[in-house]
Structure 1
Amino acid sequence: MMITTREVTYDVDGLNMIAHLAQPDSPGPWPAVLIGHDGVGLEEYQRQRADDLAAHGYLTLAMDYHGGEVFFNRPDAMLDRVMPLLANVERMQAVGRAALDVLLAQPGVDPNRIAALGYGAGGQIVLELARIGIAFRAIAVIHPAFPEAKTEDWTDVTGTLLMCTGSEDPLCTPQQVLTFGHVLQKAGVDWRVNIYGGAEHAFWARPRNPDGSATEGTNHTMLTVPGVSFHPKHTTRAWRAVLELFRETF
């Protein structure tokens, strides 16, 4: 399917955000997907996920929560931006809600068929939206940060939730995923987990040159947070799992 893409700007959290919108070139209305990027920033991989979803018939907005900045090779600057954001639930909800409002304002969107996909910190942002009652029919999070795990906060979640992480991820461990899953189970949420053997954190992220261009191999040669490496096979498998969740849902 052919698609069209464009930048969408909006203001939130004191910044001018530069999101990526991908639209199917077919008659609407379309189901819609909101993507929350990893802590590094809105870069090529998440834009490609939005484009791929649009090619599958979903109107997709890859949000921005860094004001257009991408923190390649600057883990300390990334953490200085991300950690205070993750510590403030109201800020995360405001950032996510602003992006969702932009998505829902697009012509041709079906507001009754919405889903979310989040990576890392972006995973917690979309989970925070679900926690305050946004009626996502499906939510996929890849090595997310997790909200506070209180059963009563999740009893109104009616969509299916997929959580993926690597067996060797030190930042989003399998035990953390299952602990959150047990909370969802008590709340009556339909949930599933994929653990990818041998994968570390951000296993979808190809190593980059200082200019952001991709390099060969699996090991990152530039500074990054500990426990990050590229795993091509599991990158493909995780993406297939996301597509299957959305196919099943819509």
Structure 2
Amino acid sequence: MTEIMVPYEYDGRQFEGALVFDDSVAGKRPAVFMQPDWFGVCRHSLDMATEVADTDYVVMVADMYGVGYGDREKSDDELLESATGVRRDLDLILGCGAKAYEVLTAEAVKRGLIDTDKMGAIGFCMGGGIALEQARAGGHFKGTVVFHVTAPNPVGADSNPDFKGRVLAIHGAADPVTPKPMMDALEEELTGAKVDWQIMMFGHATHSFCVKGANNPPVQVYDEDLCQQSYRMMRDFFAQTF
């Protein structure tokens, strides 16, 4: 697998995303734009991107926190403060998110890696909420998949959703971070916007079931079987979408 770090600038700040792909595969592949969880761009998120990419996709990992954010270990309080600050700033989400998408796509195209007719997005935890905001604002994703999403509902009370593609949310029924009323509100929004949507609820699953090392029951627990099942669902979803 290959990881190529890609720098970009937004609003006077420096950011660094990544392209992750199997360099033994010839030809162009679908691109999957990834908003990582609250750890940002770090070894953990790049490993997740590698697992998602496999031989199927070029994963384009967005940086929403700035160069070097993921290099230092942080407490949960620090992570929550940073992630909440980003999640509440819709201008940053849409502006920096669009810049990441633009620069990473351009780099992948320059290298002859991707089929730009097959562009999807994914997000984990807080990154799922960010990916949904980008899709909600008209991001050109033919499909968006979110795993154990945090804050799935729009920041703006007067949101006028403009989804361009399908949506799949894979979630834990026992997730206390994003409980069922939030998912019900997402369902209502997607239905009202006439989006082709699916919500898969895993019984008894908590938050972060795809985050290796998560072990804080009953809030968040990694589950290898559920994670692999959710990745298979993602691949099936994108195969139908593209």
TM-score of the two chains, using structure 1 as the length reference: 0.82
Instruction: Tell whether the 8 Å contact from 2:137 to 2:163 is kept in structure 1 after alignment.
Output: no
Relative to structure 2, which stretch is displaced further, 173-182 or 49-58?
Answer: 49-58
Instruction: Tell whether the 8 Å contact from 2:129 to 2:152 is kept in structure 1 after alignment.
Output: yes
| Structure-2 separation of matches of 1:14 and 1:152 | 27
Cross-structure match for 1:9: 7
Q: Which amino acid aligns with 2:133?
A: E
TM-score of the two chains, using structure 2 as the length reference: 0.85
Cross-structure match for 2:221: 229
Indicate the RMSD between aligned Cα atoms, in angstroms.
2.5
Shift of 1:13: 5.5
Gaps of 5+ in 2: none
TM-aligned CA distance change 1:179 to 1:82, over 3 Å: same
- Aligned structure 1 segments of 4 or more residues deviating by more than 4 angstroms: 149-152
Deviation sequence 1:122-155 (CA, Å, 0-9, x none): 112211221221221110011222232879723x
Instruction: Tell whether the 8 Å contact from 1:166 to 1:174 is kept in structure 2 after alignment.
Output: no
| Structure-2 separation of matches of 1:116 and 1:130 | 8
Pairwise mapping of residues 1-250 of structure 1 onto structure 2 (< 5 A)? 3-12=1-10, 15-25=13-23, 26-67=25-66, 68-70=68-70, 72=73, 74-105=75-106, 106=108, 107=110, 108=112, 109-144=114-149, 145-148=151-154, 153-154=160-161, 156-207=162-213, 219-220=215-216, 227-250=219-242
Relative to structure 2, which stretch is displaced further, 106-115 or 116-125?
Answer: 106-115
| Structure-2 separation of matches of 1:171 and 1:158 | 27
Shift of 1:27: 3.9
Paired residue total: 233
Identity %: 27
Shift of 1:16: 2.7
Instruction: Tell whether the 8 Å contact from 1:174 to 1:195 is kept in structure 2 after alignment.
Output: no
Gaps of 5+ in 1: 208-217
| Structure-1 separation of matches of 2:157 and 2:145 | 19
